Every structure is written in C-alpha cells, then in structure tokens.
A and B are shown apart, each in its own frame.
Chain A
C-alpha cells in the first residue's frame, strides 16, 4: 500500500521538514511567513521515523536563501530544506548553524550599547553542552536561546 501524504503536495516552493514538534509555529512567526501572500501549509505533530513527532512547513513559490536557512537552525538544528519545482524535489539540504548572526535579534541586555546607536546587532553562535547560545559582539554577554523574544 502506498503511503498517504499527510500534507498536500506543492508545485513550486520550499518544504521545511524534520522540525521538532512545537517549533513549527515559532518558525512561522519568526520568519513572518504568514504575512506573505503565498499559500502556506503547516503540519503539526506529524509522525516521523527518526523523531517521535515532527512539524513540517510548506511555502509555495518561495525559496529560502542560505542565510534564512541557517537562521532556521536556531529552532530546528536537524531540519531539512527541500526546494520543489514541478512537484519534484530539485534540491535538498540540511541547515547548519551560522557562526555569526547580524541584524536579526535585539540584544536581551537592555544596557547594551547596540540598542541606541545606528548599528546592526551582532551575535556569535556558541555551542555549549548541546545548547546553542548567542554571544553579543558588543556587550560580550552570552545568552540562552530562550532569552530572545524573537525566538519564543
């Protein structure tokens, strides 16, 4: 018997797969995918072979650039990105954590100089005991992922 797809196939676009269950909604919010005009299909708590459950996001007519894909790693370090053209997967890649993230997050330290000067925020990504942490280039403080409101 053929496996039945749980989420409708798309003609052109991007499928983000192997997102840990619970992270799908956060990713939507972070990338403000829902604000775009394209059709988005989201699967939550889908069965998965290697994970207990997973989320999955399909965005039509949209290709993720490498920078976006890497930012995705902050939510879903094992996500795979499938680029779809004419219902075929033409490219498939794993996200990888970026070394540096510029102009994306505001520094959680309210006394950091980056808040009131005409500059981009800048963080170095650190791996500490399986955890991803971000260290601010300016105030030199290291923060847990959970401290960034953008990642919540």
Chain B
C-alpha cells in the first residue's frame, strides 16, 4: 500500500491530517540521520518561481539535489516568456507537468498553487502563494519543534510580533492545535492574531491567552516563536514603545525552562538581540537548516513509496 502522501499535492496546512504531519516529521528526521542521495535518481523536479524568492528556491533545489534528482525551472517568472507572453497559469501548468515528475511553485497571487494542482498531472508543492500559504515553512517549523522537544504533544508555545500578517504563524498554530498545544499570543493590538484563527481555536476548544510582553510568560514556555514587527506599520513613537515590549534579550532568559527553544523564520532584524545567539535556547539557524530536510522529506513522500507505506 502507498504512503498516504504518495502522488498528493501539498497546498495548504489545513489539508493535512495529524498522521500526515507526523509522517513528514518522522521522514525528515530519518533523512537528516541517514541521507538518501539516490532516492530521486532519474526524477526531474521543476522549480517554478513566478516571483523571486531566493532562499525558498535554494532550499527546495538543494533538497532535490541531495536526493539525487535533477532540477529544471525558472527563478523569476515575471522575466520569462511565461510572464511576458501572457499565457494563463493553467496552460503553463499543463506544460510544466508534462515535463516533470513533480514541481514546486511560488506565485505572487493567492490561490495559484490550488489552481495549479487542479490542472497538473504530477504532484504540486506550494512554495508560497501571495499572502496565503507557505506550507513547507510550517513543516520545517514542526520538524524543528519535534527535534528539540522529542514530541509535538501538549507543548506551551508562544508567538511574538506580527501575528496579523504572519502567515507562518497562522499555519503553525493550525498545525500545532492538532497536537493539543497551548498558545500564548504576544503582539501589539494592531498586529493581533486574526479573528478567523481565534474562532478556529475556540471551536476546537484549544487553550490560548493574549499578552502584552514576552516577560509575562517566558518562564513557562517550551517554544518561543519570534517574528519581525515591520517598522513601516507604525509611526516612530509608537514603534519605539512597541519595540521595547516585543524584543527578546538574553537577560530575559534567566529563569526559563531548560528545554526552551527560540525559533524565528528569518530574516531577523533587531527583534532578537545577538546576545541571545550564544545561549543554549537559540535554535533559529538550525531551524533554517532543517528547511532542507523537511523539503527532502516532502519530496520523498510525494514522489516515492520508500517511507511510511503500510
């Protein structure tokens, strides 16, 4: 029997079940421990970036190469004949899927990956569609949390910063809520968690609380997930005030739990001071590295039957 993700599209985190998320995390760990340089030998994966996103693209392309597959594709669709000749995405997808065994795509418009999956004959992985979903970021976050805590179950997880526009925060909350985690949302009022996420948590009877500063809760946490507050969203005085409450400094970590790990989707600006980097709690650079393992796991699962088949 096939693994449940074999030949499936990966478009949006809410499409994935708890079991499927666990399978991806387990597979990422297995590939990290035991590299599989031959797994995608003779497979062609298309890398389709209809808008530029260098780090995501490099991470996906590295994942393919480390599994022995070959990459075709483009790095900025706006600059290719795809963008310039006015072809529909539907037509582009039909052609690309006839050349490749799977493809991942980044597109500036919301819903592009879902649409592509409806016209593709091979699995599609969403590498970000406008402000909507970026599921592989969430999968690498989940893997990193699992790696550092040994479990995803019942953790106390705080999210800090821009919770309104931060799509990675939204999907990670949705994913972790399948594992009975407890949430602390620490954000300026103007950047609070959107209503639809709060309503979903209420419906599922998930415990969460809202806070004005990191210090209020930091000693209770297993995971502290920091995000960047964009200066442009505030006027100068307001920003100075906000900054002081939502910046993490090493001296705030004196009483924390031993297993606390600090994550950040990167790039960071000044929301984590560099003196935090040398504490045993900082884990954001390892997290970025895990992006490749999580994407390797995903490609391995959708393109082969080597893992998790029953």
Residues 129-152 of A, flagged 1 when their CB comes within 8 A of B and 0 if not, give 000000011111110000000000
Residues of A within 8 A of B89 (CB): 113, 117
A140-B132 in contact (CB<8A) = yes
- Segment 87-143 of A: residues with Cβ below 8 Å from B: 109, 111-114, 116-119, 128, 136-142
Least distance between A116 CB and chain B CB atoms (Å): 8
B289 within 8 A of partner (CB): no
Complex Cα distance A127/B115, Å?
Answer: 25
Complex Cα distance A128/B114, Å?
Answer: 24
A140's nearest neighbour on chain B, judged by CB, is: B132
Q: Is the interface of A mostly helix, strand, loop or mixed?
A: loop
Interface footprint category on B: 20 to 34
B112's nearest neighbour on chain A, judged by CB, is: A113
A139-B199 in contact (CB<8A) = no
Q: Is the interface of B mostly helix, strand, loop or mixed?
A: mixed
Least distance between A21 CB and chain B CB atoms (Å): 29
B111-A136 in contact (CB<8A) = yes
Least distance between B143 CB and chain A CB atoms (Å): 23
Residues of A within 8 A of B168 (CB): none
B109 within 8 A of partner (CB): yes
Q: Give the size of the chain A interface in residues (CB under 8 angstroms).
A: 17
Pick from A118, A128, A140, A142: contact of B111, CB under 8 Å: A140
B130 within 8 A of partner (CB): yes
B209 within 8 A of partner (CB): no
B196-A142 in contact (CB<8A) = yes
Knowing A111-B109, A117-B115, say if A139 contacts B130 (CB, 8 Å).
yes
A111-B196 in contact (CB<8A) = no
B12 within 8 A of partner (CB): yes
B114-A138 in contact (CB<8A) = yes
B306 within 8 A of partner (CB): no
Residues of B within 8 A of A116 (CB): 88, 109
Knowing A111-B130, A113-B115, A119-B115, say if A140 contacts B90 (CB, 8 Å).
no
13 residue pairs of the A-B complex, CB under 8 angstroms, read A109-B110, A111-B110, A112-B110, A113-B114, A113-B129, A114-B115, A117-B88, A118-B88, A119-B90, A137-B114, A138-B111, A139-B111, A140-B114
B residues near A (Cβ < 8 Å) are: 12, 88-90, 107-112, 114-115, 118, 129-133, 196, 199
Using A111-B130, A117-B89, A138-B111 as known contacts, list a sample of 13 further A-B pairs with CB atoms less than 8 Å apart, ordered by residue number in A.
A111-B131, A112-B109, A112-B111, A113-B89, A113-B110, A113-B114, A117-B88, A119-B118, A138-B115, A139-B109, A140-B12, A140-B133, A141-B132
